[in-house]
Amino acid sequence: MGRDEVIHTSAPVKAELTGDTGRIKLFGEIDHTAVEQLDQAVSELLGKGVAQLVVDFADLSFFDSACISALVRARGLAQEQDTSITLANVNRYARRILDLTGLSVAFTIEPKDEEDDDL
């Protein structure tokens, strides 16, 4: 396993690279004011040629349509590079939003432990 390299850090978004896996950790609220940082982190990791991109929802407390749009853009960019994309630590409330928008079938989703649900 390679050493972690922090690629991008801003208040709501942190991107790390470990080997050929990029992980984007979302913190707090991802809305129209923070979505640019998410887009930038995706671009930076894909620019590094990652084979897998993981978007971690563990510390996310809120996301809106701007975040959903950013996830759709990330998926499209990842597909262009033949990079897999996974949404990790998705709690039941976030999963419901993804289900309602039809995006739960577009992503590989790893659920969060139900006892930790806080979104």
pLDDT tens digits for range 37-71: 999 999 999 999 999 999 999 999 999 999 999 99
Helix, strand, or coil (residue 76): helix
Q: 26, 34 in Cβ contact below 8 A?
A: no
Q: Is pLDDT at 10 greater than 90 in this prediction? A: no
Residue 2's pLDDT is 56
Tell me the domains of the chain and their CATH numbers: 5-116 (3.30.750.24)
Q: Does residue 110 surpass a pLDDT of 50?
A: yes
The span from the CA of 33 to the CA of 105, in Å, is 27
Confidence at 3, pLDDT banded by 50, 70, 90: low
pTM of the predicted model as reported, rounded to 2 decimal places: 0.87
The Cα 19–Cα 105 span in angstroms is 27
* Nearest alpha carbon to residue 48 among 92, 103, 7: 7
Location of structure tokens 């671009």? 43
Question: What confidence score (pLDDT) does residue 78 get?
Answer: 97
DSSP of 40-107: HHHHHHHHTT-SEEEEEEEEEEEE-HHHHHHHHHHHHHHHHTT-EEEEEEE-HHHHHHHHHTTGGGTS
CA distance 119 to 61: 5
